[in-house]
Structure 1
């Protein structure tokens, strides 16, 4: 195995271990030693690859939502957005999102990351679906609040009956709410 391939594997193992620890324990309780133990390496290697716990956290929580192109019709836009959002969580592979959302309430830099994602991905998607709408940013905020509510309750907290609800039923109900956020009259 080549050195760069081994380095890439070590880096990936550290990131995976960090995502699990940060998601389960939060930023403050997760330790470099614990992350290193989970990755099966010496703690000095974590610092070698990432420099600091803060830099490791940033790498472990960096995400691209890949928000689908939202169509002009609010019902179609809502349905495609909700299906993509739920599929992402149903399929797993969202460790970075879990890290970010679990730590955002207590870590200002994590909250700033959520704001950045909102500005970079959610707002432009809503503006594309609602060209010329002076309330696109507010609609995007409502869409995000609906999404985060579902994610927190179903996937992070396991609140019943939402946690065990049929995903198709959930998608239909959430899409109705999101369509309302995209199409309802907004006070001037």
Structure 2
């Protein structure tokens, strides 16, 4: 029992160090040695638990968007609810650096881009799975959500950063709503 607890603590320390290092240095410059040093362990332990830098990255950026089911939402305002939900993932209580790490890394690294594509295709796509054009709708919604995230949290465009959450929800919600319900 103590061994299991210790290995779980080690895994958590590695993941926390990896998230910080990937956020600070990006995927390309982050090294297993630096991550291990940050976690206070030998680099071989990182490899033991995660197998490779790619394996560690995938575990460090394992993201669950927890999107609400569309059937559970009122017909009007679903776009605003989805935008608000997404903003809370980035800014709300309990937000962490995982999405920032993933988006920043996805811009320059194919493994990170693939991870981002998978997350958005499966999680946003699953919300729209009943529709024959669900994948196209999910892609359009992703353009809005990821475009906002890139401009607000990565590029930090001053005008995008300055907008309050309510304005963003009110402004982007109707666009997302069109992607949910209007003919493509």
TM-score scaled by length of structure 2: 0.87
Match of 2:14 in 1: 14
Q: Give the CA deviation at 1:113.
A: 2.0
Match of 2:78 in 1: 77
Structure 1 contact 15–60 (Cα < 8 Å) conserved: yes
SS at match of 2:77: helix
Q: Deviations over 1:55-81 (max 9, x none)?
A: 111111221211111247664221221
Point out where structure 1 has 5 or more consecutive residues left out of the alignment: none
Q: Give the CA deviation at 1:160.
A: 0.9
Total equivalences in the alignment: 182
CA distance in 1, matches of 2:120, 2:51: 28
CA distance in 1, matches of 2:74, 2:140: 17
Q: Give the CA deviation at 1:109.
A: 2.3
Structure 1 contact 70–81 (Cα < 8 Å) conserved: no
Match of 1:97 in 2: 99
SS at match of 1:161: helix
Point out where structure 2 has 5 or more consecutive residues left out of the alignment: none
Match of 2:122 among 113, 120, 123: 120
91-100 or 2-11: which moved more?
Answer: 91-100
Q: Give the CA deviation at 1:99.
A: 2.3
CA distance in 1, matches of 2:166, 2:22: 30
Q: How does 1:1-188 map to 2 (within 5 A)?
A: 2-71=2-71, 75-91=76-92, 92-128=94-130, 131=131, 134-186=132-184
CA distance in 1, matches of 2:96, 2:128: 23
Query: Structure 1 residues 74 and 139, CA, compared in 2 at 3 Å: closer, same or farther?
Result: farther
The alignment's C-alpha RMSD in Å is: 2.1
CA distance in 1, matches of 2:134, 2:44: 47
SS at match of 2:152: helix
Structure 2 contact 90–99 (Cα < 8 Å) conserved: no
SS at match of 2:158: coil
